[in-house]
Amino acid sequence: MYTLGNVTRNTIAMVLAGGRGERLSPVTLNRPKPCVPFGGKYKIIDFVLSNLFNSGIKKVYVLTQYRAYELNKHIKESWARWAGLGEFFDTISPETNSASEEWFKGTADAIFQFLRFITDADYVAIFGGDHIYKMDVSQMISYHILNKADITLAALEVPVEEAKQFGIFSVDEDFRVTDFVEKPKEPVTIPDRDTCFASMGNYIFSTKKLVEVLKEGKKKHADLDFGKHVISMMLEKGDRVFAYNFADNLIPGMKPGEKGYWRDVGTIDTYYEANMDLVNVVPRLNLYNYKWPILTNQGNLPPAKTVFDEEGRRGQNLNSYICGGCIISGSTVRRSIIGPRCRINSYSLVEDSILFENISIGRHVKIKRAIIDKNIRIPDGVEIGYNPEADKLQGHTVTESGIVIVTK
């Protein structure tokens, strides 16, 4: 763990939250990936914003792009209200703020369009807005300063057999990066280990170097990207590029089993599995650690409620997350995550499923291994998740693993 006092004072964060999230379709048809619900009451972007907030970084720009209205609304109704004097959580997007009014062409191009926002900072934290994890970013900044680095790259230690799915760093004994290859056929391991360093897509830059490399890079690449262009440019120039091992990051209240937990949730299957992780008896992502809370807009909802205690008509929640405003009326919920303001009526059964906000489930309904989008009404007697062909005939999406996605 690396700490150097208040290193976050002169740090500005830029969160890349414009992703379309096509592999997470159809839940991303009407919202960007960072705004997809997770764990019932949260949005995916709440995890990176909570990490920054808890780390003491409260000067944050969220760069939005694709179908940005819902995400902008979420930031303003929750995060913007928690900023103090000289602090901010603000959204900026190319169609409204950029002088060129052009869509972002790459991750680094997005930062280039808004260089004027960062010139007063000593360090810039550039983080993705679509991953699930907990991290004390101040430790990564301290590591960056100790190494006198130009850029520090957050790295996930992964087995060799998984490394082909990621961008992989080659490092020396001091974790200085010597090479970077996207999805290599023969991944290079960390010295004296049988694991590899995979890119998490999170970076700490010294501001002066960031401005210099982006201006130079834009002369060569219209679609300037950190992974494709910037890192290799810096390595070629001999800049000080270091990898920060995410496994070294410790947060208050963390238990040993939580160390190194990070999920991409880039597909329906990985998104579903990460949500289901939460309902385990001992989850690897503990949302009940009040020393490092995941923050969001709590709303003004009453507590969840179960009603009826009759044989065959008993309101019960088993191994599940039930959000505020829900009524489980004479029905059973098992191993599921039920979002805010849902109602599940008598004699129904919901198992191994994820319900978004404001869903009404009729009587005698059976739902299994399903993801149901917000504001949907399921009529009496319907079955979902029991017959893939019948589900497809109803217009639902069914993944190869059998997860059913119900949208309007």
| Residues of the binding site for alpha-D-glucose 1-phosphate | 167, 182-183, 199
CB 27 within 8 A of CB 373: yes
Contact 236, 339 (CB under 8 A): no
Alpha carbons 319 and 337: distance in angstroms, whole number:
9
Give the start-end residues of each E strand in 273-396. Answer: 305-307, 309-310, 313-314, 316-318, 321-322, 327-329, 332-334, 337-338, 343-344, 349-351, 354-355, 360-361, 366-368, 370-372, 377-378, 383-384
**Contacts (Cβ under 8 Å, ≥6 apart) of 282:** 257
Yes or no: say if 271 and 312 are a contact pair by the CB < 8 Å rule: no
Within 10 angstroms of residue 267's Cβ, the number of other Cβ atoms is: 15
Instruction: Note whether 139 and 127 are within 8 A (CB).
Output: no
Give the span between the Cα atoms of 79 and 348, in whole angstroms.
Answer: 37
DSSP designation for 188: P
Distance between CA atoms of residues 250 and 343, nearest Å: 39
Q: Residue 50 belongs to what H/E stretch?
A: helix 45-54
CA–CA distance, 84 with 75 (Å, rounded to integer): 15
Annotated binding site: 167, 182-183, 199
Residue 337 to residue 354: CA distance in whole angstroms? 5
Taking the CA atoms of the chain, what radius of gyration do you get in angstroms? Answer: 22
d(CA 87, CA 79): 11
